[in-house]
Structure 1
Amino acid sequence: MNQTCAVCPVRESAACAVLTEKERDALAAAGSTRVLKRGEMLFAAGDEEAACATLVSGALKVTAFDAEGNEQILSLIHPSGFIGELFSPFAHHDVVALTESQLCTFARKDIERAVSEYPALAQALLRRSQEDLLATRSLLELTAHASAETRIAALLHDFAGAASHTSCHIADSFDLPLTRGEMANMLGLTIETVSRKMGELETMGAITRNGKRGIDIADPALLRDISGR
């Protein structure tokens, strides 16, 4: 077994988990490990032959800019998530590290070849793409109709879910990958509203804030109820 794959923390949850050991070794031989610092870009909109990648640790944001130059966060990528636009001549969005992030990167041609050679990988990437599409639709619905309190609770619940090592329950604690401003941007709120509502969630006993970025989930059931998740 490839040594990097053997110690990979997302080897059982990433799309490549469906491959046999021999197939995974072949795929790993075509890839490389890359570490991005916070704010560093994986690729930008318009890049040709942009890399594809599996996120091993950290967090990424997918962004676009409107005509006035304002950034809009379209989605987040959490560990084991796949990023890259297959069968496209260029990237359509910027992908930027929110925290120091480690990725397993591949040239697009190598992933396209692997998808052709390994049907199980193609199905896994298709399932993941569908999950990402549903998550994006859920975010759009949330920002269009839900209260500010529900939006904040849902985002925190999703962060806790992404930080968990199991699908059975959310993590007890995590560090926010977004600043207050980025959370406001993503949820269509003001920074003041984000700060106020997080304070209210803490007063209600759903969460406890721990330092600048730390969040402890004090009452998972209450947070879930408020979020509607």
Structure 2
Amino acid sequence: MPSDLPPRCAACVARGMALCGGLGERELAALHRIGRRRRLSAGQALGWAGDPATSCANLVSGVLKVSRMETDGRVQIVGLLYPGDFVGTLFAERSVDTITALSDADLCVYPRQTLEELLVRHPATGRLLLRRTLATLAEARRWMPMLARARAEARVAALLIDLARRCDADAQGGFQLPLSRGAMAEALGLAVETVSRNMTAFQDEGLIAISGLRGVRLIAPIRLTAIAS
């Protein structure tokens, strides 16, 4: 029997990690009908805090940062979003956070109200989305204490561990960084020179191996975890 799966969905590398991965073909086709593809360049915002919450999305590729204005006027990064993560907030009239691309990104974007109506018609989809949203919130809770640490080396170590986990490092701990040094610095609230200096120090100490511009292998992840904690 021929599949009704939309070609873009069939070819999507993030499908197994995203909300879509748990949907049947009928539900997936319904979701696809209300969605559209959107690409963001590094530094481009998907939405700003306080704006009307008109859309939500699944992140297909790239990395996004989630930032929030504190009461004292400081901008605090409260999380990173990776391929497969759900972007945005349902059942809210205005966006709480600003979402910005740290790298070039590809998303499937859905009108918020239309998506909410679809979830009412497909309760199983709503339950899957709830689980995805709770997982994303759990990631943010892990991320915020790390950003509050004063030591730069702890922040860099924690980010490397997080990236290795989210980027599916191989059995030897190797993976390709999805972020430039500048984007890493932006995510951590550090100067790019500080990030580069700590990466070089970790390599000199035998904790990581760096190959080319983006290749990294965690040689001593337990020691890195101790630095990050």
TM-score of the aligned structures, taking structure 1 as reference length:
0.84
Distance 1:128 1:225 in 2: 31
Deviation (angstroms), 1:207:
1.9
Distance 1:101 1:134 in 2: 22
Distance 1:80 1:207 in 2: 27
Task: State the SS of the aligned residue for 1:16.
Answer: helix
Distance 2:187 2:13 in 1: 28
Distance 1:192 1:49 in 2: 36
Deviation (angstroms), 1:171:
6.0
Residue-by-residue CA offset, 1:171-203 (whole Å, 9 max, x unaligned): 6221242544x5455446555543332222111
Distance 2:42 2:192 in 1: 21
Change (3 A) 1:146 1:45: closer
Which residue pairs with 1:206 in the alignment?
207
Which residue pairs with 2:177 in the alignment?
175
Q: Is the 8 A contact 1:184 1:194 kept in 2?
A: yes
Change (3 A) 1:21 1:216: same
Distance 2:135 2:192 in 1: 29
Which residue pairs with 2:141 in the alignment?
137
The amino acid of 2:177's aligned partner reads D
Q: Is the 8 A contact 1:210 1:216 kept in 2?
A: yes
Which residue pairs with 1:105 in the alignment?
109
Q: Does 1:21 align with 2:22?
A: no
Counterpart selection for 1:43 from 37, 40, 47:
47
Q: Give the % identical residues.
A: 34
Equivalent runs, 1:52-201 vs 2, <5 Å: 52-65=56-69, 71-144=75-148, 148-164=152-168, 172-177=174-179, 179-180=181-182, 183-184=184-185, 186-187=187-188, 191-201=192-202
Change (3 A) 1:104 1:200: same
The amino acid of 1:14's aligned partner reads A
Equivalent residues, number: 223
Gaps spanning 5+ residues in structure 2: where?
A: none
Change (3 A) 1:139 1:196: same
The amino acid of 1:175's aligned partner reads L
User: Which deviates further from its counterpart, 135-144 or 13-22?
Assistant: 135-144
